[in-house]
A and B are shown apart, each in its own frame.
Chain A
Amino acid sequence: MRERQPGTLSVWQVVELARHAERPYALDYIRRMAPDFVEYHGDRLGADDQALVGGVGTWNGRTTMFLGQQKGRNFPERVRRNFGMMHPEGYRKAMRLARQAAKFGFPIICLVDTPGAYPGAGAEERGIAAAIAAAIMEWFWIPVPVITAIIGEGGSGRCARAGGGGPGPDAGELDLLGRHARGGGVDRVARQLTQGGGRRAIADHLP
Chain B
Amino acid sequence: MEASVSEVLTLKPPWQDVPLAGGPLPEIALPSNCPGCGVGLDREELAAHVYVCDCGHHFQLRADSWIALLADGDTWSERWSDVRPHDLLDWKMPKPYHLTIEQAREEGLNEAVRTGTALLGGRPVWLGVFDFRFVGGTLSIVAGERLARGLEGAASDRLPYILVAASGGARMQEGVLALMQMAKANGAVGRLHAAGLPYFCILTDPTYGGTAASLALLGDVNIAEPEAKIGFTGPRVIKQATYADLPPDFQTADFQLKHGQVDMVVPRVEIRPLLAHLVDLYT
Q: Look across to chain A and name the residue whose beta carbon is closest to the beta carbon of B196.
A: A103
Q: Which residues of A contact B274 (CB under 8 A)?
A: 38
> Given the complex of chains A and B, what is the CA–CA distance between A42 and B5 in angstroms?
25
Instruction: Judge whether A2 is part of the interface by a CB distance below 8 angstroms.
Output: no
Report the count of interface residues on B (CB-CB < 8 A): 28
Which of B8, B260, B282 contacts A35, CB < 8 Å? B8
A42 and B278 within 8 A (CB) = no
Smallest Cβ distance from B282 to chain A, in angstroms?
A: 6
Instruction: Judge whether A39 is part of the interface by a CB distance below 8 angstroms.
Output: yes
> Given the complex of chains A and B, what is the CA–CA distance between A120 and B3 in angstroms?
38
Smallest Cβ distance from A12 to chain B, in angstroms?
A: 28
A63 and B281 within 8 A (CB) = yes
Given known contacts A32-B2, A63-B281, A103-B193, is B15 in contact with A42 (CB within 8 Å)?
Answer: no
Instruction: Judge whether B241 is part of the interface by a CB distance below 8 angstroms.
Output: no
Instruction: Judge whether A3 is part of the interface by a CB distance below 8 angstroms.
Output: no
Q: Look across to chain B and name the residue whose beta carbon is closest to the beta carbon of A96.
A: B260
SS of A interface (majority): mixed
Q: Which residues of B contact A (CB under 8 A)?
A: 2-3, 5, 8-9, 11, 13-15, 193, 196, 198, 217, 220-221, 257-264, 274, 277-278, 281-282
Could you write out 30 A-B pairs with CB less than 8 Å apart?
A: A28-B5, A28-B8, A31-B8, A31-B9, A35-B11, A36-B13, A36-B281, A38-B274, A38-B278, A39-B264, A40-B263, A41-B257, A41-B263, A41-B264, A42-B257, A42-B260, A42-B263, A44-B217, A44-B260, A45-B260, A46-B260, A48-B259, A48-B260, A56-B281, A89-B260, A93-B260, A103-B193, A103-B220, A104-B196, A104-B282
Q: Which residues of A contact B (CB under 8 A)?
A: 28, 31-32, 35-36, 38-48, 56-58, 63, 89, 93, 100, 103-105
